[in-house]
């Protein structure tokens, strides 16, 4: 027990007025998305069937700050500013000289960081008169968050949920339904993309790539329906920067600044959310930070993928974006951090990795669950399996500090709680959980199918 400060709160008036757009500070511009047919850079009109124009403008903007509309801030106020904690009890348990801070996004109504963008996307869609949105979800954090946001803004939400998570996490499905959304296991019979996958493999566990295809197809074929994505795209990462902007202020209040910023990475949005504001400081001449993306060893796009133009989905309905990819046809195995089971990585995160501004690390799931339990017993909060990758990354760095006798300051994004993921913890506690390497031959086959672009 310590009597020192452990929690750093801000006033509601400290909720950021604007999101931070790292495109304004990039030393090299982001390679543009390409039209899947012509392979020419996309224009705003190409995206209009899927997104309202306000979000398309954010997607391509190079303005440094983009104002958060008042109705979005009004909803943010319910759980933001989220707490920043000093993990003193974990530091003691590790015997490390490092200072570990964690930003806790699990206090949102759906228990993760996803409402930061779900609320924004639902607002901009409702402002554009949209009444229906289709989307995909992996672990269900995104789907339940968009369901929540849809309920607030009077938008019907249809969620294609990756089959393996649909079966592993029935409670996430129930949460979406409780918010009034429709939740469908993907691949489904409802779309051409789904039917094609099921024809080839009736027992397909699904993947985010497939679920994206289904949701995009529904939006493309229905004039009254738009599409929403929970990660990867620039505007999604933009909305998540409230996390890092708040953390910057909170650490200032604590009289501290991170040497290392850590997040888990599936599509890349929570990592971007915590890290981009700090990288922005650095790019504008401020202090250098090491940013570490922690990804699953079974789906290691940043550490084992190719940096290339590829499709965001399996059925090749999306634009081509330049990113680290394991190949859009790669089917990740069904490990427990379903939110990290994506073949690609956000173009902005990939670009920053190429520029040497982000490091990446692939982690096995058992080590992550072990770190998560150590965290829970010290700090009281049980991390989501996705977030446990960031916890493991932070524990490793803290132990390295101990070995090296260095008192570094570590900031980690605890993106969500694990209350919906107790089945995974039950498996881990009963010794049923196995580590899974990535399937190298399958990745090699998928990499071969990446389209040749430009030359």
| Residues at the contact surface with a copy of itself, assessed by CB under 8 A | 1-3, 6-7, 9, 11-12, 70-71, 74-75, 77-78, 85, 89, 107, 109-111, 148, 151-153, 170-172, 174-175, 177-180, 373, 376-382, 417, 419-420, 422-423, 425-426, 429
Q: Which of residues 67 and 74 has its CB atom nearest to a copy of itself in the complex? A: 74
Which lies closer to a copy of itself via its Cβ, residue 7 or residue 288? 7
Could you tell me if 288 and 135 are in contact, meaning their C-beta atoms sit under 8 angstroms apart?
no
| Least gap, CB of 254 to a copy of itself (angstroms) | 13
Return the number of the residue (343 or 417) whose C-beta is nearest a copy of itself.
417
Cβ–Cβ under 8 Å, residues 429 and 331: no
Residue 380: CB minimum distance to a copy of itself, A: 4
Integer Cα distance of 330 and 92 in angstroms:
42
Minimum distance from residue 174 beta carbon to a copy of itself (Å): 4
Which DSSP symbol is given to 329? T
- Which residues contact residue 343 at a Cβ distance below 8 angstroms, ignoring those fewer than 6 apart? 207, 208, 209, 299, 301, 305, 310, 325, 326, 327, 328, 329, 330, 332, 446
Q: Closer CB to a copy of itself, residue 71 or residue 333?
A: 71
d(CA 368, CA 434): 12
DSSP 48: T
Q: What is the DSSP letter of 77?
A: T
Q: Helices 269-283 and 347-354, interaxial angle, to 10°?
A: 50
Nearer to a copy of itself, 36 or 170 (CB): 170
Minimal distance, residue 442 CB to a copy of itself, in Å: 32
Closest separation in Å from C-beta 4 to a copy of itself: 9
Torsion from C-alpha of 191, 307, 266, 234, nearest 10 degrees: -80
Q: Take residue 374 and report the two structure tokens written for it.
A: 């150590």
Minimum CB distance to a copy of itself smaller for 71 or for 451: 71
At closest approach, how far in Å is the CB of 327 from a copy of itself? 35
């Amino acid at each position: 027990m310590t009597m020192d400060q452990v929690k750093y709160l801000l006033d509601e008036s400290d909720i950021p007025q604007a999101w931070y757009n790292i495109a304004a500070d990039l030393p090299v511009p982001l390679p543009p998305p390409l039209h899947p047919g012509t392979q020419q850079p996309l224009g705003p009109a190409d995206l209009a069937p899927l997104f309202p124009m306000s979000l398309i403008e954010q997607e391509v903007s190079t303005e440094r700050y983009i104002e958060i509309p008042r109705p979005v801030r009004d909803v943010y106020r319910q759980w933001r500013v989220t707490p920043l904690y000093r993990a003193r009890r974990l530091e003691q348990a590790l015997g490390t000289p490092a200072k570990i801070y964690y930003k806790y996004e699990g206090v949102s109504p759906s228990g993760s960081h996803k409402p930061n963008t779900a609320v924004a996307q639902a607002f901009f869609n409702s402002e554009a008169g949209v009444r229906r949105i289709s989307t995909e979800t992996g672990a269900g954090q995104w789907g339940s968050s968009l369901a929540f946001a849809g309920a607030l803004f009077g938008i019907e939400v249809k969620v294609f949920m990756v089959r393996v998570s649909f079966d592993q996490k029935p409670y996430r499905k129930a949460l979406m339904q409780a918010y009034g959304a429709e939740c469908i296991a993907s691949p489904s019979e409802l779309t051409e993309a789904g039917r094609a996958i099921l024809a080839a493999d009736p027992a397909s566990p699904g993947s985010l790539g497939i679920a994206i295809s289904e949701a995009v197809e529904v939006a493309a074929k229905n004039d009254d329906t738009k599409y929403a994505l929970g990660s990867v795209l620039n505007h999604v990462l933009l909305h998540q920067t409230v996390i890092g902007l708040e953390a910057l202020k909170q650490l200032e209040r604590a009289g501290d600044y991170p040497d290392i910023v850590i997040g888990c990475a599936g599509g890349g949005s929570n990592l971007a959310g915590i890290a981009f504001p700090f990288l922005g400081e650095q790019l504008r001449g401020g202090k250098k930070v090491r940013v570490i993306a922690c990804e699953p060893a079974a789906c290691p796009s940043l550490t084992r993928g190719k940096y290339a133009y590829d499709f965001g989905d399996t059925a090749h309905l999306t634009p081509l974006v330049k990113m680290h990819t394991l190949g859009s046809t790669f089917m990740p195995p069904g490990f427990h951090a379903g939110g990290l089971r994506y073949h690609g990585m956000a173009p902005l995160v990939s670009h920053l990795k190429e520029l040497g501004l982000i490091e990446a690390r692939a982690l096995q799931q058992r080590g992550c669950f072990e770190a998560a339990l150590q965290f829970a017993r010290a700090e009281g909060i049980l991390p989501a399996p996705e977030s446990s990758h960031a916890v493991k990354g932070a524990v490793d760095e803290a132990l390295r500090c101990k070995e090296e006798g260095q008192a570094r300051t570590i900031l980690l994004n605890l993106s969500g709680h694990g209350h919906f993921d107790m089945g995974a913890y039950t498996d881990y506690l009963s010794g049923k959980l196995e580590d899974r390497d990535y399937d190298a031959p399958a990745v090699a086959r998928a990499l071969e199918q990446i389209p040749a672009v430009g030359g």
